Structures are given as structure tokens and as C-alpha cells.
Amino acid sequence: MNWSDGHVPNAAGAIKQNFDVVGDALADNFVDKLELGASFAVCIDGELVVDIRGGHADKAKEQPWTEDTIACIYSSGKAVLSLLIAHAVSNGSLSYDAPVADYWPEFAQAGKEEITVAQMLSHQAGLCAIAEEMPPETWLDWGAITDRLAAMAPLWEPGTANGYHPQTFGYLAGELLRRVSGKSVGEMLRDLNASDDLQIFCGMKEAEIARAAYMPKPPKAPDLGELNEFTRLAFLSKWASAARVSRDEWMAAEIPASNMHGDARSLTRILHPFVNGGQWNGDPVLTEEAIKGALQERIRGDDLVLPFNLSWSAGLMRNINGHFGPNENAYGHAGFGGSMVVIDPQNRLTAAYVMNKMSPHLVGDPRGVRLVNAVYDCL
């Protein structure tokens, strides 16, 4: 049925019968003045049961958030990278257990020759940041960053601890994909967009930039906990992320771990093969072995970069902290400012929350958790 709510400006979309409380939860976010614009979607066993949106895409509240609106999902894009890697494992191009250097020979420098694909994807490689100072605009130069990562010595012994790789994860996974496919992450997503009616971009053209929602920055900085050398390098150094570039230059670049743009429906659908037996529109796209390899726990412990005890699979957070709803057997990823995705094989469910009013929560933003909890109330 069509969804509308008097508390949500420009409310639109559809909700399957019996999921009404999910629409109420989004309305509550607006009533509590927590949103500017947002979209939320849920897919269960191949069926899109929630696809709703509302609010505004601009600061002046003149442009409605529509079906064509996209927003930056920041680190929620790492879940998409995990899916792209699983595709490559399924077609035999990659193995989770193989050394990264088997596919990217230059990566074997400085003691990294034994780091496996799975270790890299579970934040164990010790490459959480670029250690040597560089101009912050270097992040827009793919070759310069991947050359630095290939030559760099790990910041800790690989395989001994997990330390979140906020920016470098995208270049590591993206270069691995480029080496085996000949395509960049952005090119791979464009192929999927064209064939599967999705809206997920990494490296946007002018017309796509024009559709991107304005993103008000958080009212305060995230709580990074007790700072250490890894946290400072990854988040607080002058070159920790792209700077001294325009908004359009940043959006046009491919920075896969932090500047993917999309909508909730597309995120929900692209990740669904993880929970639906590897199926996409009735066709097998992921093998059972690849799904198992993507989802199995690779490491658990106090993170060296983030202030949490985390359990990592090959690119996804396992839901041991309740950041992704009530099912501890689910998986997910969160993005800076509040976006999140949920992957629940037990209930054959994927969900995604995309918004443009950013909060200081690193993970477990209460707005997204409220929506996900409402979904589980309906099951």
C-alpha cells in the first residue's frame, strides 16, 4: 500500500500490509526533529516490503526528497565492497584464503606478502591509515594512494588485531577488484546500475552530483574514545581524509570506503544475495561457499582504532553489540553521520537507512536502530 504521513513532509513510497509501524518509526524521527530527509527500505525473502522516503534534500527545505534523491552513505559503502568481493570469489577470480599479493604483486613489499584477502577485509592488515604525511588532496589520486599502500609497512603485525581502516579499506578492496576484473569500483557499480535498476555510485557525473542531497555536518565530532597512535593517524591527522578540494571534485572521485552515494532501496536490493541463497531476481550470483566465506567471523576483539569490541567477517560487522537491531546473528555496517545497512540471513532480510542530517554516532545511530527494531516487531 502507498505510504503517507502528516508528520513527514513529502512522505512517499510503499509499505506492505502489517509493516505500518515502520512508517510510524520514520515519522517519529521527523516528529523528534532528528531528520531533514531520509529513505528506508527492507527486503525479505526477495520481496521489497518497505520502501519509504520523505523530508527535504536541501538546506532551505525547498527541494523534496524524491525517488531520485541519492545521498552519501560514507562507510556503509564498505558493505557494498564486501558484496563485490563475494561476487569475485563466486566467479573464481578471488579466494578469501589467498594472499593479496597473489593478485596484486606489488603489495608484497615491506612484510605484507602473507596478508590474506580475508585478513585485509577484516581490518587486520595494519594499514588503517597512510603513515607518512602527504597532501590531503592525494586521496583523489587512485594510483598515488595504492602505490603508497603497496609500499607501506604494516602499523602492527598483520593478523594479530583488528583496527578499523576508515579510508584505506576502499583502496585496498578496490585495487584488488581492479586487478582481477580490469574495472574500478565505480565502473562495476555502473554495470550493476544499468542491469539491475539500482542507484549506487562511486565517482559521480555532473547530473548525478545534481541529484545528491545536501549533508549538514554533525553538531559535534564523534566520540573516538581514548586516543592512540592508530586512531590519530586514521581520523585526526591533517591528511586523514580528502581536503583542499571542492565538493564536486570529491564527489567525482572514487573513494569507495567513504564517498559512495545511493538510496535505501538500491542498498537493500544489492546486498540481498547475502541472505537469499545467493539469488538475484531468480538467478544465482553468489555461491554458497562465497557467502560462507564472506560471513564467517575472522577476528573479534577490542578495535585498535574504534572504541568498541568488534567482531569482523570479510568486510561486515557481526552484530554482537546490537548496533544493527535485536538479532545478534545479523551483520551490518554503519556510515559516518548515521546511514546503516542490516544483513540478516536467519530472517532472509536486508534493510538500509539513508539520510542527510548527520549525527555524531559512529555506529548504532538511534534513528536507524528505531527503524530496524520496528521491522523486527513485524516479523
Listed by start position, the domains of the chain span: 12-377
Give the whole-angstrom CA distance, residue 192 versus residue 354.
20
* 209-241: pLDDT as tens digits: 999 999 999 999 999 999 999 999 999 999 999
**What pLDDT, on the 0 to 100 scale, is given for residue 266?**
98
What is the pLDDT at residue 250? 98
pLDDT value, residue 1: 83
Q: In terms of Cα–Cα distance, which of 253, 255, 285 is closest to 269?
A: 285
Reply yes or no on whether the pLDDT at 199 is more than 90.
yes
The pLDDT value recorded for residue 282 is: 86
Contact yes or no for 131/233 (Cβ under 8 A): yes
Tell me the C-alpha distance between 234 and 253, whole Å. Answer: 20
pLDDT of residue 210: 97
Is 134 strand, coil or helix?
coil
What residues contact residue 160 under an 8 Å CB cut-off, 6+ apart? 124
What is the reported pLDDT for 181? Answer: 98
Per-residue pLDDT averaged across 339-347, rounded? 98
d(CA 124, CA 143): 23
Burial of 345 (0-12, 13-18, 19+ CB in 10 A): middle
Q: Is the CB of residue 201 less than 8 Å from the CB of residue 261?
A: yes
Per-residue model confidence as pLDDT tens digits over 275-317:
999 998 889 999 999 999 999 999 999 999 999 999 999 999 9
* Mean pLDDT score, 365-369: 98
Pick the CATH number of 12-377 from 2.30.29.30, 3.20.20.70, 2.40.33.10, 3.40.710.10: 3.40.710.10
The burial of 182, by beta-carbon neighbours within 10 Å (0-12 exposed, 13-18 middle, 19 or more buried), is given as: exposed
Mean pLDDT of the chain: 97
**Average pLDDT rounded to a whole number, residues 6-33:** 97
Report yes or no: 117 and 85 within 8 Å, Cβ to Cβ: yes
How far apart (Å, rounded) are the C-alpha atoms in residues 292 and 314?
10
List pLDDT tens digits, range 57-114: 999 999 999 999 999 999 999 999 999 999 999 999 999 999 999 999 999 999 999 9
Which of 288, 300, 273 minimizes the C-alpha distance to 196? Answer: 273
